Amino acid sequence: MEAEIPPEEQMEENQQSVDAAQPLSRIVPIPKSQLAPYRTVIILRLVILALFIHYRVTHPVDSAYPLWLTSVICEIWFAFSWILDQFPKWSPINRDTYIDRLSARYEREGQPSELAAVDFFVSTVDPLKEPPLITANTVLSILSADYPVDKISCYVSDDGAAMLTFESLVETAEFARKWVPFSKKFNIEPRAPEFYFSQKIDYLKDKIQPSFVKERRAMKRDYEEFKVRVNALVAKAQKTPDEGWTMADGTPWPGNNTRDHPGMIQVFLGYSGAHDIEGNELPRLVYVSREKRPGYQHHKKAGAENALVRVSAVLTNAPYILNLDCDHYVNNSKAIREAMCFLMDPQVGRDVCYVQFPQRFDGIDKSDRYANRNTVFFDVNMKGLDGIQGPVYVGTGCVFNRQALYGYGPPNLPSVPKTSSCSWCASCCCCCRRKKPAKEKDFAEVYRDAKREDLNAAIFNLREIESYDDNERSLIISQMSFEKTFGLSAVFIESTLMENGGLPESANPSMLIKEAIQVISCGYEEKTSWGKEIGWIYGSVTEDILTGFKMHCRGWRSIYCMPLRPAFKGSAPINLSDRLHQVLRWALGSVEIFLSRHCPLWYGFGGGRLKWLQRLAYINTIVYPFTSLPLIAYCLIPAICLLTGKFIIPTLSNLASVLFLGLFCSIITTSVLELRWSGVSIEDWWRNEQFWVIGGVSAHLFAVFQGFLKMLAGLDTNFTVTAKASDDGEFGELYIIKWTTVLIPPTSILIVNMVGVVAGFSDALNKGYEAWGPLFGKVFFAFWVIFHLYPFLKGLMGRQNRTPTIVILWSVLLASVFSLVWVKIDPFVSKDDTSTISQGCIAIDC
């Protein structure tokens, strides 16, 4: 007779089975009470904007025709730019995840975990610019993540082939044996030791283990010793020996010539059977430095990421890939589980190419002077895109479906009927291509669609590749000519056909490292589709935008995941010059895409898989640098008007006054309602508006010219950055002044507008009271420019002995105005000189 199960246990098991069957995530729509007014105001603003443009075009100012024409052209461009930015935010959404349901479905008690494996990619180049201690903290936070250890593999790409990076990883692997069990035992957050120990919080909160205080002190002491060892390596690496670096065994370091060295792979943890101090298994940690030879194009970060894709496919082949910059550590140990709630949900995950997390940063001043947090973009624009086809890929903090990186389309596309044996290869093109007339698409588009669908067909027809013997498998792969797409590695090609990841049974562990070395050789990508159709896409310094765009064009969608505790945190440049050069690089990448065949204005129409609002968003990402040209003109117009006495707007009628007032109110109302549903503070919104102008009149302008010089003339222009002064103390870097040519345009605009304000007041004093009315409009626009450029002026002036910059600014303006008034009135003139008095009164209309 079977033992009866207690009712409590039956209820618990039933509850677990119910949880396992429920969705792992849900969409949380924005309340209609917030969204309906927001959409209404957008439409109203569009109508008012059309009427305003019509009025401006049909009412020229003959006395200032060139200024009027310039202003109208600028306003039309601003209207176009606003449409591109606004309408992709038409349907914003939020999302919730259910990590407990994920565990109930894939981590049943007493059974091996069925959670999918994840390969982490960490990329670094120069350890003297990207401190090894920061990279080490990123690696330690990955190895300590709340995820099964046998499901995590961490690949560190050293694209500078630096022995310092290698040696620091040796130390990191050794320290991980202590850090990983400590962080998991006490469930601490974050699990990057540098940032955990620097927290100014009560670390005893919720820690009930009596041994916690003692073990924490011991771990902090161990970490300080680890830092000393790593910093000693950094100090040693400051001067390279004449004979080059030598390893511990006396052999020369293979990467002494950073431009001419073999590929290097070293497995520190995982395969070697390494365990932590408590005897538990540790995740894999693999060092990778791809081969570099003169005469080969290496494609910088995108090429390094593609090398990691191939190495990881040969060694572990996890179905999902998470890439991080070396300075972005895991701040939320459950971040991988958050992503798996989407990727492993059968109802959602099949069509998801990646899950993007927002970027969050440490070490930024409280006022966020230069909008380093990009709050408006990450909390407004990205939520809007999530309601269409998904957020854009931003280069870090992203979990990819490996199959999407291989150029395959999502499973929901029309599949190909399965045929027997291998005879399908000759006819697969006929049965899988669309019946759309070829004349509707150019030849290149037809070829790309055919190539993509051939690969989709290959996946469908090779689901049962495991059932073939080695000869049949080799025959099938060669028949498909996959070498032309993926390269000459049979092991790698076979891994691309395994949708659920894992290594094939035929894989020989002793040969995997040799195969991995082959796939990172500098000539492996030649005459293949790497960087063109598969992997990270080449052709722009912002390879992230291109890569996500190609996936969306194939019909994939992406997901935006915003857990309450930020998933990842990184560092951001906080001084003015570094921030502008970061923006310059992003804008340059957008210009490169605009001038390439992948421009969203004309690429990807053949398949019809990219939604039109998503296309608008991508167009916005590549045309926004060109706004710098009308923006600079518009910022100079107020000063020119003040200096010349002319104005771009004629005498306003009642209708014109209503239009101006309506446009102004609609702009304010749209912003307020946007802040309401997004939760962004008004301070963050204002900082974003200010830096839009600062970046627009500086970095974006240089990016446009540099992009055209690079793409059309082959000239690569670099702008030198020179540090001039530095202050100690907290946020000392914020006050470093680095003079660079990017600072010239906004500085000139500021000076011209301030001179214009002084000249305008002087002119009004000369002409009398009738001049003060027109002066108000001109001065209003001039101060609009000055207030938007105020953070730039503050950064340009540094601390100024801690005197607030606004005091200096107002002092200069008021002193200039009152000086002119004083000179004009001249109170010290003799009262007996009536002629002088009368002339003075006439001059100021007494």
- Gap between the Cα atoms of 457 and 33, Å rounded: 47
Which two tokens mark 238?
């400051």
Taking only the tens place, the pLDDT of each residue in 374-416 is 999 999 999 999 999 999 999 899 999 999 999 888 887 654 3
The residue ranking higher by pLDDT, 813 or 158, is 158
Binding residues: 123, 129-130, 159, 300-301, 325
pLDDT at 824 over 70: no
Of the pLDDT bands very low, low, confident and very high (cuts 50, 70, 90), residue 290 is very high
Strand partners, 450: none
Is 159 noted as a catalytic residue in this protein?
yes
User: Which residues fall in the annotated binding site for Mn(2+)?
Assistant: 301, 325
Give the model's pLDDT for residue 739: 64
Residue 283: is its pLDDT beyond 70?
yes
Q: How far is CA 384 from CA 31, 72, 88, 777, in A?
A: 14, 30, 6, 36
* pTM for this entry: 0.83
Q: Torsion angle, CA of 369/372/377/378, rounded to 10 degrees?
A: -130
Average pLDDT for 65-92 = 93
Q: Decide if pLDDT at 768 tops 80.
A: no
Active site residue 826: no
Marked catalytic residue, from 159, 368, 454, 578: 159
Residue 191 has pLDDT above 90, yes or no: yes
Pick the catalytic residue from 544, 578, 684, 763.
544
d(CA 483, CA 490): 8
**Binding site listing for UDP-alpha-D-glucose:** 123, 129-130, 159, 300
Q: What percentage of the chain exceeds 90 in pLDDT? A: 41
What's the pLDDT band for 460 if we cut at 50, 70, 90?
very low
Write the CB contacts of 498 (distance below 8 Å, at least 6 apart in sequence): 317, 504
Condensed to tens digits (0 to 9), the pLDDT of residues 722-758 reads: 343 334 455 555 556 666 788 888 888 888 888 888 8
pLDDT score, position 476: 60
Q: Indicate the DSSP class of residue 504.
A: -
Buried b / exposed e across 441-451, counting CB within 10 Å, b at 16+? beeebbebbeb
Q: What is the pLDDT of residue 137?
A: 95
| 624-650 mean pLDDT | 87
* Residues 830-844, mean pLDDT to the nearest whole number: 46
